[in-house]
Structure 1
Amino acid sequence: MRIQKNKALPALVIALAAAGIWWASKPAPTKLTTPTAIPVRVVAVSEKDVPRYTSGIGSVLSLHSVVVRPQVDGILTKILVKEGQLVKAGDLLATIDDRSIRASLDQARAQLGESQAQLQVALVNLKRYKLLSVDDGVSKQTYDQQQALVNQLKATAQGNQASIDAAQVQLSYTQIRSPVTGRVGIRTVDEGNFLRMTDTTGLFTVTQIDPIAVEFSLPQQMLPTLQGLINDPQHAQVKAYIGADTDGETGNLLGEGHLTLIDNQINANTGTIRAKAEFDNASQKLWPGLLVTVKIQTALDKDALVVPPTVVQRGLDQHFAYRVNGDKVEAVQVQMVYQGSGQDIIKGVKAGDVLVTDGQSRLKPGSTVQVMSEPPQVVQAEPKP
């Protein structure tokens, strides 16, 4: 037993020596350095006047669209306009064969001349009978009969004049004139066709293009706002876009107009109310039947505090933003006044305050930050010829 204990002693010495060597060569613990700054992008709170908008989907409508139909039967002798041509109210569009109506007019004029000649003779005789009746040269009955003849001939002349007026009206219908200023549509008949008043298709349509209207629907909750806008002498501004979403920020602006009409009832099935706006359309970008997105300016916030939408963060029960103070950030409670598609109006900060707009996910109050500049713009090289 004494021999085994002596053999174990050298092994223990070797183990202790190895442990001492390891402890002596162990690297010293690294001391904690200052926290690494979190990169963020910031924006300064700006103060400006901001208009508020509401959006909806609408359809472009012509203020006047007329189907040109004949008012007398006859052969279409001439068409004086082309398809797609712009015409003014009163312009001659087409003519119908008028020979029969002119003959009726000449006949009515001849009958009027005959009646007027007979009336002239009757008046001379009436005057003579009146003088003779003073001395009982003619009987009272003869004088009364002559007076009745004069009245009859006057009525006949009036009837003849009415026939002339009617024939002249019929004659005017042989010249088809534009009732409105607008654009001629696709023609449905050609010269030489026999037209009837009972034809439903007509010759073509004339549709007013400038000015033009847009009819759209908004939620019924917007009724008080619309009523205030319609009574405003300044007229609420309405913008029409194509290819835009309901925010109206994307797509092409087709025109700017003003609110003109609110419908007299709310649609109980959809809970919406219809409204109409009128647009000047000299460039003819708005076309009847076109679906557009409309934006209506409902208010104007004076000296509003404006920030990009990415600044405001949503907490458990409130909104907040990170404000940069030196090289650190602090959480500031803010109130969301208005959310637009490209900017928000808030309260709780001051104009000029620097707020974090990107990188909030790594932040907490008191975090050290490093403000990054805007990313450089990518310049595309021109292709070599």
Structure 2
Amino acid sequence: MSNQNIDVAKKRNSWGRKLKYIIGFSVFIWLIIGGIYWKKTSNQPKEEYSQWSKPVPVRVVPVQRSNLDVEIKAIGTVVPVHTVNVQSQVSGVLQQVYFKEGQWVEKGQLLAQIDPASFKVALAQAEGARQQNLAQLNNAETELARYQLLFKQDSIAKQQVEQQQALVNQLKGQIQSNRAQVDAAKLQLSYTRIYSPIDGRAGFKQKDAGNLIQANESTALVTITQVHPVYVQFAVAENHLTGLREALKSGQQVKVSAWDKAEQQQLAVGQVQALDNQIDVSTGTLKLKAVFDNRDDSLFPNQFVNVRLSAQTIQNAVSIPSDAVQHGAKGTYVYVINKDHKAEIRSLKLGLSSNGQIEVLAGLNGTEKVVLEGIDRLSDGKEVQIIADDQPHPPVMESAAG
């Protein structure tokens, strides 16, 4: 091997040793730095990251002790007090219509006119026949008077007098029949003018002027509904029957309010008018009918409304929001906050409910505070943090993966 090659090999060995020293020194320095950092961090207290060990934020409400108005909610239908299908009692051509569709009409108001010409002719004929029979009667009575005079003078036989008397009686009967025919013709003539039988609102007309109308046909000329007052018909569960019957028997007015579909606006206030005479066995409900004055026309026939019936008032009742009540294997319960700000499970016996409040028969004395929001994270003995009403809602617990 030449001297030049030997020198190159020595230089390579020298650089290799230097590189190993540099790498070893760097590793040593990093080990020292890592040890110092570990020592500092190990001396610091560990931070608790588990949200489950922290107090649970909750919103509470006090238990109320006051009069509880029990309301029964139902869906009702507005029913007119009277609905009349106005029909013609005689046949003829409709000459004139005197009402407008949707117009308010009064009892006795003229609605329509049917051509009276043929009925006037029939009346004239009946009156003519009556006058003819009256003339015959006058003549027969004159003859009867003459026969009676001659009979007294023993100039004629009694049989002639009796025959003339029979003729007079016959003519009197015909005149009575004529009088009835005249009255019938007048009645038929009066039917050509159609009047409103009730106060109410007229619907759409089903016949126009110029059409031929048949007597008592299936299609009415117009329908009139009476809506002052108006009824609302609805059904309640049969377990309310006893209380309602007792209230009505005692003369008490059972208040009923009608609300719109969204239950945001009260439309009218009335009272129970009557109970049905039997319970519907298929649904277990009892039909009721409430009457409303409806002078402002807030209720419309066949309209669906939400009904609230004031069934009874429970004096000095202990009540809580229905949303605070929980249901478990041991029954119904609520979470009560004790003086140590910890949650306690309190079993309840519940009564009637109304407008989001429910009566507590046993389990609370009226001085406690129950948890309304944040219940999903609570357990018996869990420490809580009470959130004021003006603060944001309690946060929802996120999963560990989040």
Does the 8 Å contact 2:333/2:347 carry over to 1?
yes
Question: How far apart, CA to CA, are the structure 1 residues paired with 2:250 and 2:338?
Answer: 45
For residues 384 and 155 of structure 2, the distance between their equivalents in structure 1, rounded to whole angstroms, comes to 130
Residue 327 (structure 2) aligned to one of 311, 314, 317 = 314
Residue in structure 1 matched with residue 18 of structure 2 by the alignment: none
Which of residues 106, 109, 129 is equivalent to 1:91?
A: 109
> In the TM superposition, what whole-angstrom CA distance separates every residue of 1:152-176 from its partner, at most 9, and x where no partner exists?
1211111111011101110111001
- The secondary structure found in structure 1 opposite 2:218 is coil
2:194 to 173, 176, 180: 176
1:157-176 to 2 correspondences below 5 Å: 157-176=175-194
* CA–CA separation in structure 2 for the residues paired with 1:254 and 1:26: 72
Residues 97-112 of structure 1: pairs in structure 2 closer than 5 A: 97-112=115-130
Q: Does 1:282 align with 2:295?
A: yes
Question: Does 2:270 align with 1:257?
Answer: yes
Report percent identity of matched pairs.
36
Structure 2 counterpart of 1:158, one-letter code: Q
Structure 2 counterparts to residues 239-258 of structure 1, below 5 A? 239-244=257-262, 250-258=263-271
Aligned to 1:43: 61
How far apart are residue 231 of structure 1 and its match?
4.3
CA deviation after TM superposition for structure 1 residue 279, in Å: 2.8
Contact 1:230-1:260 at 8 Å conserved across structures: no
The aligned amino acid for 1:358 is E
Aligned-partner SS, 1:233: coil
Q: Are the equivalent residues in 1 in contact too, given 2:72–2:354 (CA < 8 A)?
A: no
Higher mean alpha-carbon deviation, 102-111 vs 273-282, is at 273-282
Partner of 1:337: 351
Match of 1:349 in 2: 364
| Match among 201, 205, 211 for residue 229 of structure 2 | 211
Change (3 A) 1:221 1:331: closer
| Structure 1: distance between partners of 2:180 and 2:308 | 56
Report runs of 4+ in structure 1 exceeding 6 Å deviation. Answer: none
SS in 1 for 2:189: helix
SS in 2 for 1:210: strand
Contact 2:80 2:231 (C-alpha < 8 Å) held by counterparts = yes
Superposed CA deviations along residues 226-270 of structure 1, whole A, max 9, x for unmatched, are: 6556645324333333324xxxxx343333333344444555555
RMSD: 3.6
List runs of 5+ in structure 2 lacking aligned partners.
1-37, 47-52, 393-402
Q: Secondary structure at the match of 2:170?
A: helix
1:293–1:147 Cα change, 3 Å = same
Change (3 A) 1:355 1:281: same
Letter in 2 for 1:177: Y
1:24-69, CA deviations, whole angstroms, 9 ceiling, x for partnerless residues? x974989xxxx97654433333333323233333333333222222
Are 2:80 and 2:226, in contact at CA under 8 Å, matched by a contact in 1? yes
- Spell out, residue by residue over 1:68-98, the C-alpha distance to the aligned partner (whole angstroms, 9 max, x if none): 2222122211110011111122211010111
Deviates more, 1:149-158 or 1:111-120: 111-120
Between the aligned partners of 2:160 and 2:367, the Cα distance in structure 1 is 109
Worse-matched range after superposition: 204-213 or 162-171: 204-213
User: More displaced, 80-89 or 137-146?
Assistant: 137-146
Contact 2:353 2:359 in 1 (8 A): yes
Matched, 1:299 2:312: yes
108-117 or 322-331, which deviates more = 322-331
For the structure 1 residues 269 and 327, does the alpha-carbon distance in structure 2 shift closer, same or farther, using more than 3 Å as the test?
A: closer
Matches within 5 A, 1:46-65: 46-65=64-83
Give the letter aligned to residue 298 of structure 1: A
The 1:342/1:270 distance shift into structure 2, 3 A limit, reads closer
Aligned to 2:35: none
CA contact (8 A) 1:57 1:291 kept: yes
The equivalent position to 1:72 in structure 2, one of 90, 94, 115, is 90
Between structures 1 and 2, the one with greater helix share? 2
- 1:275-330 superposed Cα distances (whole Å, 9 cap, x missing partner): 43333322323223323333333332222222222333335424333444545355
User: Which residue of structure 2 aligns with residue 358 of structure 1?
Assistant: 373
Call closer, same or farther: CA 1:44–1:137 in 2, change over 3 Å: farther
Deviates more, 1:208-217 or 1:97-106: 208-217
What residue ranges of structure 1 are gaps of 5+ in the alignment? 1-21, 245-249, 378-385
Q: 1:38 to 1:266 in 2, by over 3 A?
A: closer
Q: 2:388 aligns with which of 358, 373, 385?
A: 373
Map of 1:382 onto structure 2:
none
TM-score (ref. length: structure 2):
0.73
Find the aligned partners of 2:136 and 2:221 in 1 and give their Cα distance. 46
SS of residue paired to 1:153 = helix
Partners of 1:327 and 1:369 within 8 A in 2: no
CA distance in 1, matches of 2:155, 2:391: 121
Shift in alpha-carbon separation, 1:44–1:136, aligned structure 2, 3 A: farther
Q: Which shifted more, 54-63 or 95-104?
A: 54-63
The equivalent residue for 1:247 is none
C-alpha displacement of 1:184: 1.5
What is the deviation of 1:198?
A: 5.9
- C-alpha distance in 1 between matches for 2:284 and 2:356: 28
TM-score, normalized by length of structure 1?
A: 0.75
Whole-angstrom distance in 1 between the partners of 2:327 and 2:282: 35
Give the Cα separation in 2 of the matches to 1:54 and 1:149.
Answer: 78
